[in-house]
Amino acid sequence: MVRIGIIIGSTRPGRNGEAVARWVYEHARKRTDAEFELVDLKDFNLPVYDEPMPPSFGKNYQHEHTKRWSAKIDSLDGFIFVTPEYNHATSGALKNAIDFLYLEWNNKAAAFVGYGSLGGARAIENLRTIMSEVQVAHVRQQVSFSLFTDFENFSIFKPNEEVHLPALNTMLDQLVAWTKAMKAVRQEMNLRV
């Protein structure tokens, strides 16, 4: 069984991302083809990147916060990134968390759920580029929530499930298939090392 982490990509007080991630989790956990868990960046309390060596040099981390984050990402086979859109990009907290690691991301799969004035579309495009660089395969289907139509007063999450559930289910179908495929790729790559 593959394990997929739903990463809450905002640490801002009063953030909308937690409600969005919980909605994704409540629907995803009904599936029997993968295990899902919420991964909250706030729980890792990562500072601005502070390791002396680049993560591409290997897992020789000096700080406990990095070791904890590394262990969590290492334990997962795939990811759903729930991202806000800040200034046409993902959050600084999520970008920083991604930058802490390298090998832990390699040859895994990801999907994206965005929220913002344009449904987080530009943040998702930003994340697609970042994921490609850390060797994560990403699926085409995404889920986008508008602050204008899926939130009451821009803060109370009230998604139109008739619109969003079909997109979520298609995204999950794609992600689970790719996550399984990338697990086989990782096993093949490990045989070559």
pLDDT band at 190 (very low <50, low <70, confident <90, very high): confident
Give the pLDDT confidence of 147-183 residue by residue, as tens digits: 999 999 999 999 999 999 999 999 999 999 999 999 9
DSSP-assigned beta bridge partners for residue 110: 79, 138
Asked if pLDDT for residue 6 goes beyond 70, the answer is yes
In the chain the domains, ranked by start, together with CATH numbers, are 2-192 (3.40.50.360)
Asked if pLDDT for residue 132 goes beyond 80, the answer is yes
pLDDT band at 8 (very low <50, low <70, confident <90, very high): very high
Give the pLDDT confidence of 16-60 residue by residue, as tens digits: 999 999 999 999 999 999 999 999 999 999 999 999 999 999 899
Give the mean pLDDT of 94-115.
98
Q: What is the mean pLDDT of the chain?
A: 96
Question: pTM value?
Answer: 0.96
Unique residue bearing structure tokens 């690691």: 101
Give the residue ranges of DSSP H helices in the chain: 17-28, 64-74, 92-99, 121-133, 161-192
| H or E stretch at 158 | none
The pLDDT assigned to 189 comes to 82
Give the mean pLDDT of 139-152.
96
Asked if pLDDT for residue 193 goes beyond 70, the answer is no
Q: In sequence order, what DSSP letters do the residues of 82-111 get, joined into one string?
A: EEE-BTTB--HHHHHHHHT-STTTTTEEEE
Give the mean pLDDT of 93-122.
97
